[in-house]
Structure formats: C-alpha cells, structure tokens
Amino acid sequence: MFSSLSDNLDKTFRNLRGVGKISEKNISDALREIRMSLLEADVEFNVAKEFIANVKEKAMGIEVLKSIKPGEQIVKVFNDELTALLGGDAVPLDLNPPAHILLCGLNGAGKTTTAGKLALRLKKDGRRPLLIACDLYRPAAIEQLQTLAEQVGVPCFAPEAGEKNLVKVAKQALAWAKDQNGTVLIFDTAGRQEIDDKLVEELKELHKFVDPNETLLVADSATGQQAVSVAQHFDEAVGLTGIILTKLDGDARGGAALSMRQVTGKPIKFIGEGEKLDQFGVFHPDRLASRILGMGDIVSMVEGAAEKIDEKEAMHAAKRMQSGKFDFNDFLEQMNMLRKLGPLDGLLGMLPGFNKIKKQLPTEALDEGRMKRMEAIVLSMTPKERSRPELIKGTRRRRIAAGSGNTMLEVNRFLKQFAQMRKMMKSKGKMKDMMKQLGGMEGMGDMGDMKDLLGGGGGGKLPKLPF
C-alpha cells in the first residue's frame, strides 16, 4: 500500500533537497507534482486540492524561505499536514460499559473478520468482549463469526436458522449478553455489494434499538474513491463515530485512507494489515504519514516485537548467536519468532529508507516461499544433524534434499550460507559492526548494508544470510 505514492513523493523531495534556495517557483513546481501523485493514488480531488493549498501556505512562510536547509523544512511541512489530514492523534474507542459497537460496511470489506480481530484486541486489553451475529442473509457469515469467536476465546450469539427480524435478534442477543458477564458487545451486520434503501433502513432500525457507543464503518483500503462516497452514505444513515480500514497490506494505491477522514470528519480508529487475527492495531496518523514519506515506523515495529516475541527466548537466541554456537535448532526458533511478526515485506517496510532499496534487492530476499523451503530443509535433518551441522556431508545432503523436496544445489547453497553466517557470528568485532549498522546509524537514512544482509549486493561487507 502507498508504494507508488511513496516513490513519487521521494523523487519530488529529493529534487527539492538538492536546491540551495527555495523560491515560490520551486515550491509551485514541487506541489504540482505532488498533487498529481495524490490524484494518481486515488485521493479525492477536493481533498488533494485543499491539502496542496494548506502545504503551499505554510511552505511559503518566511521561516522556511530563510532556512539553512529549506528542502528539509518543506518535507517537515508536508509531514505535518499529512498527519493532520489523517486525523492528527489516535482516537480511542468509547468503551463505557456496557459498550455496544456496531460494525457496518459493504460485502467483502472484511466486517466479520474485523469483528473477530477487534474482539481479540479488546480481550488482550482486559475487556470481556461478546460477538453478536446480525447478518441474517448469509449463514456462512454466522458460521464464520462463530469460528472466529472460538479461535479468540470469546462467547458468540447466533440467531436461530431462518430468522429474518433483525431487531428481534438484537433483543434476544441483549438478553443473552446479560448472563455472559461481558463488557463490550460487538454487532456484526449484513452488507451489500452497494448501498441500497433496504440495507439503510435495516441499519437504521438496528442502530436505534442497540443505541451503540461506537458505529464503525469497515472499509476496504483497495476500494478507491468509491470508499469515500460509501462512508458519506453510511454516515448520513446511522451517524458514524469512526472508520476501520482493512487490507492495508495490499498493493492498492491507498488514496481512500487519505480522503475518508477529511471528507467524513470521522477518525480512522483501527487498521487491519494482514489476514491473521493479531494483525490489527490502533491507527496512528503520524506513523502512517512517516511510512508514506519513507521515514519508517520504528515505534510500531518495536511495539509489535514486544507484544509477539518472548523476551527470554530472544535473549537466549542473542547469547547463542554471540557465542558462535548457533545451530539449526536455533535457526528454527529464529524463523518462528520472525513469522510471529508478520510478512517479511511488511516488517522491513517499517524501517527508514527501506523503500529506497527495495527494488534493488533480489526477488528471493523477500520471498516467503523461500523461507518455507529453508525450513523444510532443516526439518528433514535428524536431531543430531541440527545440533551438529558439520556432520552433514554428501549422502546426508542427498537424503535431506529428497526429504525436503529441494534440489542438491539448493541444499548446498543453504548450508554454505549458514556456515558463512556461523563464521561471522564467531567474530565479536564483526557482530558489533553489524548491530551498529542495523541499529546505530544516524537516521538509518540510506540503509547501506541492508541489501547485503537480505541476500543481495554480492561482495559487500556482510556475507549473504540464509534468512
């Protein structure tokens, strides 16, 4: 998401940074390019127009024109305005118990999955969520919600088969909820391919009866400018209190995310960035703005790691790596920890400057399938071989290749890369240098050796790593 917009903005700002003195013409030329980039990214026309006007007004200020680094100041102005466009600060849910949350949206936006994700997040926050199935048109949606409820460990109310009275179902659900000791009720409603009168009337009736604390529109980030009109229609019908953007990990242009907050005046409260139930988080406008501008999102990256990775396991792995005793058992543990953080592409995308080198990386560096093949190689080894990699010679390699479904060439390459990695780890000096390069570079602007670390570059300071 936003990759095309990020690339275009990076090119424009790179040209601005190279200018010794900022003039009105410099700014006008740059903003013209930025406006085209926003429109190409599906940002609503009036939103783009107003946004550019605000940036120009601030960019033409005296402080910017007299700045020692005018190009950097323009980037800061753009970042501040982009953050404001997205809402400024994160907006929490109104969870005054017993809280009622009504989810609405079109078919395919991910309402049911979002209901399960929201329930899991609220449960982790110490709440007692309950899921209520109010999609009376799709039995599969009710079954899906029940399955999700079981996965996250929360109670779920399902209506009787054939029931079509939505208010009656809601009344039964509220009576059921009194015996469940829940503090938050999440209502999953029906959707359509497009907004129609019947859908709106049913939602109005349900909304009036439930009287929710929060009425949240679940919107697919890939919908484009249509998502803006959909948000307006739902807001007029039931009075939205917020928006949840789904599929933010996709490859769509993402302009809806930049338009919906401005057009509706309703905050984006959560975002979904993957299919897994835990790939769901609070929306932070400043962090998304930084990611769009290629500045990364280290805070979210650290928060995700702290939440999903056991600190003792991480410390144990670090000591093993530093001691040079790293074996294939440790490798599997590292793979599992990395998998908990989500897709590798999305994880690395949070690093500052990663977008600048992404296209230079070999395709295999970000290939999830390659990681699975490497895991298959290790799982085809005996326990003794995993603990003592030096035992793996010719006949053993042929057996491992056959067992893992890989060729001998692939197995040999993997073992060679693993041996190089172990050799590097035995040198404390090189280890310190690597950590410094990954974590201590000021601003991490150009991510100089990341290409080598991920398996590219060839001939760089670090050997190719097998993961």
How far the first Cα of the chain sits from its last, in Å, is 24
Is 208 assigned a ligand-binding role in the annotation?
Answer: no
Is 455 assigned a ligand-binding role in the annotation?
Answer: no
Is 213 assigned a ligand-binding role in the annotation?
Answer: no
Is 192 assigned a ligand-binding role in the annotation?
Answer: yes
Give CA torsion, residues 345, 429, 308, 91, to 10 deg.
-70
Is 216 assigned a ligand-binding role in the annotation?
Answer: no
Is 48 assigned a ligand-binding role in the annotation?
Answer: no
Is 310 assigned a ligand-binding role in the annotation?
Answer: no
- Tokens 């793979």 sit on residue: 335
Is 191 assigned a ligand-binding role in the annotation?
Answer: yes
Is 246 assigned a ligand-binding role in the annotation?
Answer: yes
- Tokens 């015996």 sit on residue: 179
Cis before 98 (ω within 30): yes
Is 107 assigned a ligand-binding role in the annotation?
Answer: yes
Rg of the chain (C-alpha set): 26
Is 105 assigned a ligand-binding role in the annotation?
Answer: yes
Whether the CB-CB separation of 20 and 366 falls below 8 Å is answered with no
Q: What is the DSSP annotation of 11-40? A: HHHHHHHT-SS--HHHHHHHHHHHHHHHHH
Is 108 assigned a ligand-binding role in the annotation?
Answer: yes
Is 395 assigned a ligand-binding role in the annotation?
Answer: no
Is 324 assigned a ligand-binding role in the annotation?
Answer: no
Distance CA 296, CA 352 (A): 4
Give the strand order in the sheet containing 184-189: 156-157, 129-134, 184-189, 99-104, 214-220, 242-246, 268-272, 280-282
The DSSP letter of residue 218 is: E
Amino acid found at 111? K
Is 248 assigned a ligand-binding role in the annotation?
Answer: yes
Is 197 assigned a ligand-binding role in the annotation?
Answer: no
- CB burial of 377-393 (b: ≥16 within 10 Å; e: otherwise) equals bbebbeeebbeebeebe
Distance CA 339, CA 427 (A): 27
Tell me the backbone φ, ψ of residue 214, rounded to 5 degrees: -130, 130
Is 363 assigned a ligand-binding role in the annotation?
Answer: no
Question: Residue 381 half-sphere exposure, CB side, CA atoms within 13 Å?
Answer: 23
Measured at the CA of 87, the angle between CA 78 and CA 272, to 5 degrees, comes to 105
Q: Which residues are annotated as a binding site for GTP?
A: 105-112, 188-192, 246-249
Q: Which residues are annotated as a binding site?
A: 105-112, 188-192, 246-249
